[in-house]
């Protein structure tokens, strides 16, 4: 994704129609875009209404809607 936007912006966009919102979203928190960092990312699973406010302010790195995965920067 080339656009810079927060998790809040993503959740309120039309891109969410590609996610299966009946299942939990897997949110991975990374500190850089390097492959090694992405492999060692912290992960949590949330239903859309359970996502903590502190994550909503994070910048989105990329999404994988088929897997319900979102990567955000720390």
**What does the pLDDT look like over 49-71, one tens digit per residue?**
999 999 999 999 999 999 999 99
Q: Is residue 1 part of a domain?
A: no
**H or E stretch at 22:** none
Q: Is residue 53 part of a domain?
A: yes
- pLDDT digits 0-9 by tens, 12-32: 999 999 999 999 999 999 999
State the Cα–Cα distance between residues 54 and 11, nearest whole angstrom: 14
First to last CA, the chain: 17
Place of tokens 């949110």: 27
Q: Is residue 2 part of a domain?
A: no
Q: Is residue 41 part of a domain?
A: yes
CA angle 10, 45, 53 (to 5 degrees): 50
What the block records as the tokens of 12 is 């309120």
Q: Is residue 25 part of a domain?
A: yes
What total number of domains does the chain contain? 1
Is-above-0.85 flag for pTM? yes
Q: Domain limits at 29?
A: 7-73
């Amino acid at each position: 994704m080339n656009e810079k936007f927060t998790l809040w912006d993503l959740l309120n966009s039309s891109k969410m129609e590609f996610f299966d919102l009946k299942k939990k979203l897997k949110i991975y928190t990374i500190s850089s875009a390097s492959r090694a960092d992405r492999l060692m990312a912290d992960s949590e699973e949330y239903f859309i209404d359970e996502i903590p406010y502190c994550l909503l302010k994070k910048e989105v790195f990329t999404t994988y809607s088929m897997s319900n995965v979102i990567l955000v920067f720390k």
